[in-house]
Structure 1
Amino acid sequence: MGLPPLEFSDCYLDSPQFRERLKSHETELEKTNKFIKELIKDGKSLVAAHKTLSSAKRKFAGSLNEFKFRCIGDAETDDEICIARSLQEFAAVLGNLEDERMRMIENAGEVLITPLEKFRKEQIGAAKEVKKKYDKETEKYCSVLEKHMNLSSKKKEVHLHEADNQVDQMRQHFYEVSLEYVLKVHEVQERKMFEFVEPLLAFLQGLFTFYHHGYELAKDFSDFKTQLTISIQNTRDRFEGTRSEVEALMKKMKENPHEQQTLSPYTMEGYLYIQEKRHFGTSWVKHYCTYQRDTRQITMVPFDQKSGGKVGEEEVVFLKSCIRRKTDSIEKRFCFDVELVDRSPAITMQALSEEDRRLWIEAMDGREPVYNSNKDSQSEGSAQLDSIGFSIIRKCIQAVETRGINDQGLYRIVGVNSRVQKLLSILMDPKIATEETEISTDWEIKTITSALKTYLRMLPGPLMTYQFQRSFIKAAKLESQETRIKEIHCLIHRLPEKNRQMLNMLMKHLANVAANHKQNLMTVANLGVVFGPTLLRPQEETVAAILDIKFQNIVVEIIIENHEKMFSTVPEMPQPNSQLHLSRKRSTDSKPPSCSERPLTLFHTSHSAEKV
């Protein structure tokens, strides 16, 4: 129920009912006063909490902005660039949002705290002052009235008349104060409906403005969020692909580390203990040593693996001869002596094992010299770019496009290996290859797609050749997409004719596959993941080569997306000042035979009775 109205006429009667009604108004004012006081306190706490939150968010944003991603390798993919930029984008959004929060906080004092304090002081405080005056006058009037009522009727008429006048004046003054008090009580009760509520509305409006600003930021951030989500997914997919490759390489290294050595500019390298003569005797110091046969240069770096730092200066010497140390001539095992140019006497080195000593002595043409070059070139495969090879690829493509173009996971789902090998053995039979027949519908699409991929891997070199592999990778690392396309276009037209023809056939097919990605779920990016490591197969298995797979995938994506342009016209070659052009010129000065020029041996197998 609402408060009862206070009538001015009741001020003259000053009845108990009037006093009860006035009391209810006073109680409400006191409750309002306490509530506003508590609200001001809570409002200040809220503002302080916002300031603390804003400070924490700014610190968080600052940490995001300062962190810089560093990728493995010498370049980043577009997806990695997007992900690396994401932290700065997050920081910018948070900073922008906190700027708006600070504006809201600064306005909170003006629109909420100050008006509430003003209302409490000027209105409720003023009503309290009038009440004090009213209570004081009530007490004063009642005292005079009681005193007047006790006057004796025997007093002189003049004295009684004078007393009556005094009481009348007091009564009139009391009535006036009572009227003023009632007016003030009514005024405060009415004012609180707007002067108290209006600041709260203004504060909430500030909050709504802040939240709306966040909404607008979220809308502006939406495009980058979508791009970032795609980049994260692409990067995750590449990680899943490369992780298995890296784990497989690690397993090979565990099983047979000596056969998995990477190509190195040095003939031999590794840790050796070198005997050093000191005034107090001899000591053996661990060094990391490298040796180059063509210059006979030995580099020795004293290094402590436990601390991970050098323990001395690097020394460069030149080999004169190397002699195995007899076992009975020294207490240490695995030792050999190295005679140096312009330095004597010879120094004694200790290898890590008997096998390690043998390798060092072979590399230095010691007592048992055996030329130890780095890895031989890739062994010849059982497939080649001849009419049979083109027939196999053409028949596989025809079968896929005729009856499997919409199969989900096309080229990702792998066929049974025994079936794949059986199909290949049939297709590689010269008699079958010359027949203009299609692959039988008895063969599953996944078997056919696996056969196509397997045949490409069986080539002695990748379809896009080892010679241009680094150039393709460099092209994928260029910043401008337009420049990437131009460079890759040029490189394709430098491939051997047969390589380019087969690549054209394959890319036209993959473009058709990608055009049906809504049904088969094989987008250009997915096809790049599948065919990148095959078409740009690395010459050696290393972690660096595996990490370059993501750029191999990008190269394939670009060719698929631009396949008509890539194979239709001969591009203009880049200007001589182009880094890629210089690298190409250096590579063509000592151009190795192309895949089509190498002598290849085709592995023939008898075909089964199954129809092709």
Structure 2
Amino acid sequence: MEALEKENKEGVGNPKTLKLAKDITSAEQGYRRGIQDLEEIRQRFQLVREQTQKTCERVEWDRVLALKNALGTYTEAEGKLMKVGGEAVDRCSIFVECMSPQVDCHFFVADFMRIWPDATPMYYESYTHGIAKDMVFGVPLETLLRAHPGSGIPAVLYKCVRAVEARGLDKEGIYRVSGKHSDVLELKLRVEKDVHSVNLEDESWDVHVIAGLVKMYLRQLPVPVFPFPAKERTEYSQIADEKERVLRLRARVKALPRSHHTVLKFLAEHLAKYVFPYYCR
């Protein structure tokens, strides 16, 4: 890739170089989509596996408990009927008392984990930059948040927004003035290698670069945070009644999936912090 970039600089406009760059980009995008698809399958498998394990545990618990109660009732009845052989009944009673749903479930889970182990996560691996443990760009919100449950906000978005709020709220045009594109790409690579190890409070990262990464992340989402097709936007813009417009917009927001609704609220609150001081001047 580095050799290609060098060749591209030396021969800008070379058809062969441009075609090669296009093919490499297309292959890289296909590879990323493949990893995303495999990761989604893994997540679905994990979800079904966990649900199956819990269901089987409940069934095993109920089975052992029902068997213990049945044997206990039978042993007690035999003890009352039998005039001889009381020692055998006592031994049976001790056996029944030792039956434990908790112990049986423990062994059941151990066997279940051995037969159906956790599925290994799928990581995107670059020849030049290594493994990306946190491939977040171009990944649907639902897929990303299933893999990393928590606040409901993707870690990359949360860290970038907090860094902008800490260092960029006083800068006019923070999301209008673009950061250096090569630095944005470098930050993207760092984030995808390990989002939690990147320190965005470090002054070496220009705040406009961080803001640029926020824009890049949102642009590359397969489904926008707030989907609003062009045709529907046109129809919406033609509604003259302001109350009707607000009602329509509110209905669309309420219809959003939970993950999209949470992220939209987070972004709205963030932008309000930036816009509010200008309205107060």
Q: Tell me the TM-score normalised to structure 1 length.
A: 0.21
| Structure with the higher fraction of residues in helix conformation | 2
Higher relative contact order (CA 8 A, sep 6+): 2
For the pair shown, the structure with the greater C-alpha radius of gyration is 1
